[in-house]
Amino acid sequence: MSLAARIAALASRIGIEVRTKIDAGHPGLARAWVCFGWAGNQIVVRAAHNVAAVTRTAAGRYRVSFATPMPDANYGWTALVRSSSDSGTQRIAIVRATSDQKTPQHVDIACATPAGSFADSTEINLVVYR
């Protein structure tokens, strides 16, 4: 057996082993993610996984509803926001109030300026882990 054939066989075996260890329930995999933004006075969802809908509840405030609910509300999420302009105006993803909900069915996130006022963005990226 040649070296190339042995390496190919080893790579195949590693793939089989990894496949049995990491499945859709692995805690290191995202349970939901979405790339969306506010453009042309509407929500634009560019790509998503396990997201049923994104709703704008107010300027800079959004509710992301999951297609398949999380087992409970003990999940973690992270979000990044792109500036709405090339002028250097920053945007950040935040949760500011106890009225912002985090349930098995949805999570509320907000987009704000560094001064803390709510503001929309053309691109918001959310990832949920559980």
Residue pLDDT tens, the chain, 130 long: 789 888 888 888 888 877 776 666 777 789 999 999 999 999 999 999 999 999 999 999 999 999 999 999 999 999 999 876 666 678 888 876 677 899 999 999 999 888 888 999 999 999 999 8
Return d(Cα 67, Cα 85) in angstroms, integer. Answer: 32
Return d(Cα 127, Cα 32) in angstroms, integer. Answer: 6
Return d(Cα 79, Cα 92) in angstroms, integer. Answer: 8
Domain ranges of the chain: 28-129
Instruction: Please report the pLDDT score of residue 88 as a whole number.
Output: 65
Q: Residue 61 corresponds to which tokens in the numbers above? A: 């405030």
Q: Are the beta carbons of 34 and 126 closer than 8 angstroms? A: yes
Instruction: Please report the pLDDT score of residue 96 as a whole number.
Output: 67
Instruction: Please report the pLDDT score of residue 1 as a whole number.
Output: 77
Count, residues in the chain: 130
Distances (CA, A) of 47 to 29, 59, 88: 17, 22, 26
pTM for the model stands at 0.79
Distances (CA, A) of 126 to 17, 49, 74, 92: 30, 10, 16, 12
